[in-house]
Amino acid sequence: MITVGLLGCGNIGRVIAAGQENFKITAVYDVVPARVEAFGKEFDAKPFSDFTAFLAEPTDIIVEAASVLAATEHAQEVLEAGKDIVIMSVGALADIEYRSRLIETARQLKRKIHIPSGAIMGLDNISIGQISRIDKFVLRTTKNPASLAREATERTQLFSGKAHDCVRQYPKNTNVAESLSIACGRDVDVELWMDPNEDRNMHEIFFEGEFGEAYIRVRNLPSPDNPATSYLAALSILTLLKNLDNPLVIGA
């Protein structure tokens, strides 16, 4: 049985905990002490409000499902503690120097940094961008203003530019932009829109290159507990965890 330390007892954390089968969350940590206590009680995991003690608890892997700040603060020490990590708040890796340091640490210590597919589809073959020419790559994300904690009466563009800058400005909403950039090996172009007539979290990907062209559109249901986060993102990380000990690896 794989033992998991869960960093972040929010919306995604709860979906993961409810779906435990071949892994067991044995330790949990969150910035909100009351939340971590209640979570620990409900899912039979040891609650921690001190990160060092949480990390010292024997677990096979740490799952970050908290925030870009949490991933930035803790990923390096998780690897240095000799543990693999799953990073949900991928925006932390927009800092190229930090990302390189993490990868180098993981390489030296023979650890893995897992990035779930999250709220999008297609990351598998989008990674051909690492070995093949890409002529165009645009992510267009459209969310209801409520998912962005804003108000609007008409379709409004919030951002147009590069992924690294977008996720810095909208760290709770555009981690997918960074996942796509890592997959295809370049800082992709991003448009972020809010639309009061869109009730889903929509991600459209326009991808052209040596292989031909692709258009991918996902219209995700928002998570009931956090409309900023698509439910697909929680399902994705749960699937990743369920496959950690599967010898059959599918996809590019």
Ligand X SMILES: NC(=O)C1=CN([C@@H]2O[C@H](COP(=O)(O)OP(=O)(O)OC[C@H]3O[C@@H](n4cnc5c(N)ncnc54)[C@H](OP(=O)(O)O)[C@@H]3O)[C@@H](O)[C@H]2O)C=CC1
| Least distance in angstroms from the C-beta of 28 to ligand OAA | 22
Tell me, what DSSP letter sits at residue 67?
Answer: -
DSSP assignment of 198-227 equals --SEEEEEEEEETTEEEEEEEEEPEETTEE
The DSSP bridge pattern shows strands 222-223 and 212-220 to be unpaired
> What's the CA gap between 23 and 54, in Å, rounded?
18
Q: Which is closer to ligand X, CB of 88 or CB of 240?
A: 88
Which of ligand X, ligand OAA, none has residue 77 at its interface (CB below 5 to 8 Å by kind)? none
Burial (CB < 10 A; 0-12, 13-18, 19+), residue 215, is: exposed
Largest Cα span, the chain: 53
Answer for which of 6, 9, 27, 119 binds ligand OAA (CB under 6 A) is 119
174 touches which of ligand OAA, ligand X, none (CB within 5 to 8 A by kind)? ligand OAA
The span from the CA of 106 to the CA of 114, in Å, is: 11
* Residue 201 engages ligand OAA in binding (rule: CB under 6 A): yes
Residues 169-198, one symbol each (x = binds ligand OAA by CB under 6 A, - = not), give: ----xxxx----------------------
In the complex with ligand OAA, the residue whose CB is nearer, 108 or 239, is 239
User: Cα 36 to chain center, whole Å?
Assistant: 21
Question: Which C-beta is closer to ligand OAA: that of 45 or that of 194?
Answer: 194
Query: How many angstroms separate the Cα of 30 from the Cα of each of 63, 245, 252?
Result: 12, 26, 34
119 assigned ligand-binding residue:
yes
Q: Is 67 in the site for ligand OAA (CB under 6 A)?
A: no
CB of residue 77 to ligand X, shortest distance in Å: 13
Residue 136's SS3 state is strand
Q: Minimal distance in Å, beta carbon 210 to ligand OAA? A: 27
User: Is 74 marked active-site?
Assistant: no
By a kind-dependent CB cut-off of 5 to 8 A, residue 220 interacts, out of ligand X, ligand OAA, none, with: ligand OAA
Q: From the list ligand OAA, ligand X, none, which binds 106 (C-beta under 5 to 8 Å, kind-based)?
A: none
Q: Residue 182 in contact with residue 117, Cβ under 8 Å?
A: no
92 annotated among ligand-binding-site residues: no
Helix (H) or strand (E) segment spanning residue 85: strand 84-87
Catalytically annotated residues = 203
Cite the annotated binding site for NAD(+) by residue number.
119, 175
- Residues near ligand OAA (CB under 6 A) are 119, 173-176, 201, 220, 228-230, 233
